Amino acid sequence: MRALVADDSAAVALLTSRALAAIGCEVTTVADGIAAFHQGLSGAFDVALLDMIMPGMLGTEVLAGWAEAGLSLPTIVFSGVDDENLTLRCLELGALDFIHKPFDVRELQLRVRVHLAHTKVS
């Protein structure tokens, strides 16, 4: 299982990639939106974790871009910002789930596992 983690905070990126590696994912980290967008399009990933505020392209723009390109990549959105509207829009744009910061690592692992299992089935 290959996971793409996009977050500009080194601490978050490290933590998440270690957590996902622990459940058997091969993790690639990127620190800006444009890299995230292109990596996603490369089709090499089974799940993506996307931060909302990144340099280059915002999380919402990445999602919109992926949707337009017809990519179906299960995406979990990190949101540290308390913006209900933003979160709803992300879900509308195709994100599967969102995780508020501060997050529980076990919960993150669980959600990723669940979504990966769903996509395998479908």
Measured from the CB atom, is 9 or 119 closer to other proteins?
A: 9
Length of the chain: 122
Q: List interacting residues with other proteins (CB under 8 A).
A: 9-12, 14-15, 18-19, 22, 32-34, 53-58, 60-61, 64, 80, 82, 85-86, 88-89, 92, 101-107
Least distance in angstroms from the C-beta of 79 to other proteins: 12
Q: Least distance to other proteins from the beta carbon of 77, Å?
A: 12
Query: What is the per-residue DSSP string for 84-100?
Result: HHHHHHHHHTT--EEEE
Nearest 5°: CA angle at 68, between 53 and 115? 65
**Identity of the residue, 4 or 62, whose beta carbon is nearer to other proteins in the bound complex:** 62
What is the 8-class DSSP label of residue 57? S
- Measured from the CB atom, the residue of 1 and 15 that comes closer to other proteins is 15
CB of 83 to other proteins, least distance (A): 9
3-state DSSP assignment of residue 115: helix
Cβ(4)–Cβ(49) below 8 Å: yes
